[in-house]
Amino acid sequence: MTSKVGSTLLAAVLCACASLIPISSSLAAPAPVPAVPPVVTGLPDFTDLIDKVGPAVVNIRTTERIKNGPSAMGDEELQEFLRRFFGVPTPRGQSPGQTPRRRAPQQDEEVQRGVGSGFIISGDGYVLTNAHVVAGADEVIVTLTDRREFKAKVLGADERSDVAVLKLDGNNLPFLRVGDSSKIRVGEWVIAIGSPFNLENTVTAGIISAKSRDTGDYLPLIQSDVAVNPGNSGGPLINMRGEVIGINSQIATLSGGYNGISFAVPVDEAMRVADQLRKTGKVTRGRIGVVMGELSKEVAESLGLGRARGVEVSQVEQGGPADKAGVKVGDIILKFNGQPIESSSDLRRQVGAAPVGSKVTVTVWRQGTQKDIPVTIVELEDPKSASKRMTPKKPSPEATPNALGLHVSDLTEAQRTDQRIPGGVLVDSATGAAGRAGLQPGDLILQLNNTQVTDAKQFNALVAKLDSKKPVALLVRREDQTSYVMIKPR
């Protein structure tokens, strides 16, 4: 009875609504309604997928041989450090807060450095993980889900992409199929398997949140909301077809723990790196010898570009490929070998992927005109041989900082040659506005707004002329990373 009354009322309402719509015989037939995708009736079931891929995911433990001596960390500090950050259990019979008993010092002692994850990519024992998982390790132990343990050989590790390749002495091992990370879609389900906090074979699930996040120098990372914590590093990000599409590598956090955002190295890029590591033990990348800066909308409009695109050449390495080819400070690089450049990360990746010794065409915007410049690619130095952080000088007690809160000093000719820069100043101390902006002793200042810095006298004179109410942009180099730092007045 109730159903019949309800149906009658519904029909009456529909008729009343229809009577309000004017009808015209001249109206065309209504357009077809787009098909509505089927509503998801339940969450995906990962059980069969995990049974299939789980055995190929491994736990990685690393140890380091330390020497006991005056400079070594004390027993108490070492034990507490390992317990808090790597999950190493407190010795039997000792509570977490209890001071450990002193042991007689030994010549050498192996201690656990950390725990990470990895995955096997071939039946003959090749393993992928993160470079930071095995960095500094004297011994790497890989444990499979069936409790078999292997001493792994590190064939190579690339810091810039955070990819490392290990080799196990085994055959017929379980391995993961490699997927195509270029075909991933935002919103698709993915899982991560690893050893967070040394809890082996832990599975977490989520979705891909974004593609091509510019958080890496040479790789656009995959962002997901899969839970990743210390120990997950190096483990696989797997799609619903059981294919690995990424290596879990980083998290975005303010607390040090997982906050809902994690990043993975795309497996396509990781495999390109891995192939080089397997063959030569290192990765060869190209460079052209320029320091780049992002282009603001205001600057782009004033130069006649219409919108912010390309990257500004803020420094040219003296005697480098770009310098020899005729690239100048102030040029705007719009294209690399015909491919549009939207950001400095675009250019860095394309240059890095170019074969060493090849000739490329760099398209620049200079004084209102577009110009093609042929440049020869040279090899990018290994991070270990790249410029290191410089030792600041101690300011004299009577010296006062400039208006930005900086004490700076001149570079020697040897330092400029080593850093491959024509000028710049060394930050000896940073307080006030500069300190709040993050500048540190040992940084190099290469440019103030649009003016190249030559020495301390010129830099301090420029600072003295600044409007104290306006922010200032400094081009700053820290080790081998260069970026703009905005210093804002209070």
Beta-ladder partners of 487 = 472
Q: Exactly one of 75, 124, 132, 455 is catalytic; name it.
A: 132
Task: Taking the CA atoms of 287, 292, 294 and 298 in sequence, report the sign of the dihedral they define.
Answer: negative
Please tell me whether 407 is known to bind a ligand: no
Which residue reads 């190099």 in tokens? 444
Report the distance separating Cα 303 and Cα 103, nearest Å: 69
In angstroms, the Cα distances linking 430 to 395, 426, 476 are: 11, 11, 13
Q: Vertex 43, ends 39 and 47: CA angle to 5°?
A: 140
User: Which residues touch 36 (CB under 8 Å, ≥6 apart)?
Assistant: none
463 SS3 class: helix
Please tell me whether 232 is known to bind a ligand: yes
Please tell me whether 314 is known to bind a ligand: no
Q: Exactly one of 162, 346, 428, 443 is catalytic; name it.
A: 162
Q: Is 302 a catalytic residue?
A: no
Please tell me whether 343 is known to bind a ligand: no
Question: In angstroms, how far is the first alpha carbon of the chain from the final one?
Answer: 74
Please tell me whether 357 is known to bind a ligand: no
Q: Is 162 a catalytic residue?
A: yes
User: Which residues touch 245 (CB under 8 Å, ≥6 apart)?
Assistant: 179, 180, 181, 184, 190, 222, 237, 238, 239, 264, 266, 267
Report the distance separating Cα 452 and Cα 25, nearest Å: 74
Q: Is 233 a catalytic residue?
A: yes
How far, in whole angstroms, is CA 326 from its chain's centroid?
32
Torsion of CA 24, 28, 29, 30, to 10 degrees: -90
User: Which residues touch 321 (CB under 8 Å, ≥6 apart)?
Assistant: 287, 288, 289, 375, 376, 377, 378
1 SS3 class: coil
Burial profile 431-454: b = 16 or more Cβ within 10 angstroms, e = fewer: ebbbbebebebbbbbbbbeeebbe
Amino acid symbol at 411: L
Report the distance separating Cα 333 and Cα 340, nearest Å: 9
- Cβ–Cβ contacts within 10 Å for residue 280, how many? 11
Both tokens of 56, joined, read 């190929």
230 SS3 class: coil
Report the distance separating Cα 236 and Cα 20, nearest Å: 59
Q: Exactly one of 233, 262, 387, 429 is catalytic; name it.
A: 233
Active site residues: 132, 162, 233
Q: Which residues are annotated as a binding site for substrate?
A: 132, 162, 231-233
Q: Which residues are annotated as a binding site?
A: 132, 162, 231-233
